[in-house]
Amino acid sequence: MTTEELVTGGLRLEAHKQRSTKAPIRAASLTERYVIPLDQHSGLPAVPLVKPSDRVRIWQPIAQPAPGISAWLHSPVSGEVLAIEPRPAPHRLGAPTLSVVIANDGRDERFENAAAIVSFERLSPNEACEHIARGGIVGLGGAAFPTASKLASSLCENGPKLLLNGAECEPYISCDEVLMRERAEDIVFGARALLHALCSPSCTIAIEDDVPDAHTALRLAIDKVGDARIRIKVVPAIYPAGGERQLIATVFDTEVPHDGLPADIGVVCQNVGTAAAIARWIRDGQPLVSRIVTVTGDGVRDAGNLETRIGTPFSSLIADCGGYTERMSRLIMGGSMMGTSLPHDDLPVVKATNCIVAASSLDLQLRGAEMPCIRCGNCSQVCPAFLLPQQLHWYLQPFDSDQLDRHGLLDCIECGCCDYVCPSQIPLVERFREAKPLLTRELDAHLSADAARTRFLARNERLARLEAEHRAKLAAKRRPKNEPSS
């Protein structure tokens, strides 16, 4: 992968999407078993509603949200629950995660839910949020945050502005591009449902300037429904323009506070895939049991985008794409910049799986031996969060929590731009990622200490006041009755 241009606040990178976008979306093959992790969304793991040996039908709820932030899970097939047990998962590589294992009977017997298909215009905003939650809808841009929770926390008096993120900036990932190109009407339907749920006055669909076919398809879909609240905003194809904060700044010329959320400035950002999933749930009664996954890289024979049921093993998708080439050297979930290296392909697709890169040495930027920082400033130029990575690196050794906090370590989005341009081959992102929990603990400790100090001083003041009041009462008792008080 080569850099076309080093720009302020990002990089222009080779997209590497031609191979995976030359053919239409196709359905992934069905497999014998599906593994559904209970914690494949942000927040708390879902609570199983089934037990081993139970019969389930496709689209049937198999786990309900835990109290707090959590999400529903549904069966992607009909069949029998074989087990509820810890299984390896791509988003929890450190340890197995509790999962529902279902044996597919191949019948796809549907779970009939009469309440699933609704007319969203007849629902109140709160009812719409609750209904979206019942579909197990989470953010499909990567974070997998429960959509209903995000909507509920973003409501404001005049209704926030809705931003649909179609700026798929990371190399290799093309699932959103083909979705916008082939299923634009789903996105527009979902946008209108989100506008209703948020009482929002407007929706902006942001797409990059290198996807003209997607732009045309979206424009036709918007014109078809005639909804003047929805518009398209074309943004430069610069990585990482699709980052939530970066995209909001580009589209609305407003920055999200470093310690705040988009809702604080009246904006709600959702992925275009999330909008399409909402459409399928509200219009067709299909909960989030599948998603489009890009399978690409020089290490796979026939790259493409596959409509994949949640729980499908990665190995099955690789087989659907012709298997590995002899050049295959590394498996990655996600793109080449922010993706996660995987130890093997016996792992299930989860709601956050947008791309699988079977990479060869041609796809990877080879890292040489680390050398001392030469203070060139390249990392500062490309940092989309406008940090000073070279200064952050300086204050890591020794660990200076005050300076790291002052220089915004916790604002790092771990995009990898600084790593990519560093001539000294310093693994900056890896070190920043490791340092963040340490800094958070120290800052929390400082806050706890400050709070304890405040309580201690308040206690001393209270005791001194009580002592003074007690002394005054004693003095009043001892004073002769005919003696005037001072």
The whole-angstrom separation of Cα 53 and Cα 25 is: 34
Which DSSP state fits 211?
-
* pLDDT score of 2: 44
Say which amino acid occupies 486. Answer: S
The total of other beta-carbon atoms located within 10 Å of residue 460's CB is: 10
What residues contact residue 228 under an 8 Å CB cut-off, 6+ apart?
A: none
- DSSP alpha helices (H): ranges in 167-209? 175-182, 184-198
235-266 per-position pLDDT tens digit: 999 999 899 999 999 999 999 988 889 999 99
- The strand pair at 26-27 and 304-309 is best described as parallel
Lookup: tokens for 402? 């005050």
Among 199, 202, 193, residue whose Cα is nearest residue 154:
199
Is 91 strand, coil or helix? coil
CA separation (Å) from 224 to 92, 230, 284, 478?
43, 12, 20, 92
Fold for domain 3-29+126-291? Rossmann fold (3.40.50)
The whole-angstrom separation of Cα 281 and Cα 6 is: 42
CA 412 to chain CA mean position, Å: 15
The whole-angstrom separation of Cα 42 and Cα 444 is: 22
* pLDDT score of 269: 96
* pLDDT score of 20: 97
Backbone Cα Rg of the chain: 27
The whole-angstrom separation of Cα 170 and Cα 177 is: 12
Residue with tokens 């930027």: 365
Residue pair 160/326 in contact (Cβ under 8 Å)? The answer is no
Say which amino acid occupies 263. Answer: A
Residue with tokens 């918007």: 222
Say which amino acid occupies 129. Answer: C
Among 164, 379, 366, 199, residue whose Cα is nearest residue 274:
164
CA 40 to chain CA mean position, Å: 11
* pLDDT score of 93: 86
Q: Where are the beta strands (DSSP E) in 355-435?
A: 355-359
Lookup: tokens for 164? 């649909």
The whole-angstrom separation of Cα 219 and Cα 181 is: 11
* pLDDT score of 45: 97
Say which amino acid occupies 265. Answer: I
Q: Report the DSSP beta bridge partners of residue 81.
A: 102
Is 399 strand, coil or helix? coil
The total of other beta-carbon atoms located within 10 Å of residue 231's CB is: 13
- The strand pair at 230-235 and 203-208 is best described as parallel
Residue with tokens 């019942």: 134
Where along the chain do its domains lie? 3-29+126-291, 374-486
Say which amino acid occupies 312. Answer: T
HEC per residue, 143-158: CCCEHHHHHHCCCCCC
Among 407, 381, 382, residue whose Cα is nearest residue 393:
407
Residues of the chain with pLDDT under 70: 1-7, 114, 156-157, 481-486
Residue pair 359/352 in contact (Cβ under 8 Å)? The answer is no
> What secondary structure does DSSP assign to 306-359, as a single string?
EEEETT-BHHHHHHHTT-B-TT--EEEES-TTT-EEES-S--B--TT--EEEEE
Phi/psi of residue 314, each to 5°?
-55, -35
Side-chain half-sphere exposure of 147, counting CA atoms within 13 A: 36
* pLDDT score of 3: 45
Phi/psi of residue 72, each to 5°?
-70, 150
CA separation (Å) from 44 to 7, 65, 70, 146, 472?
39, 8, 5, 10, 56
Sheet holding 61-64, edge to edge: 47-48, 61-64, 73-74
Which DSSP state fits 172?
T
Side-chain half-sphere exposure of 276, counting CA atoms within 13 A: 28
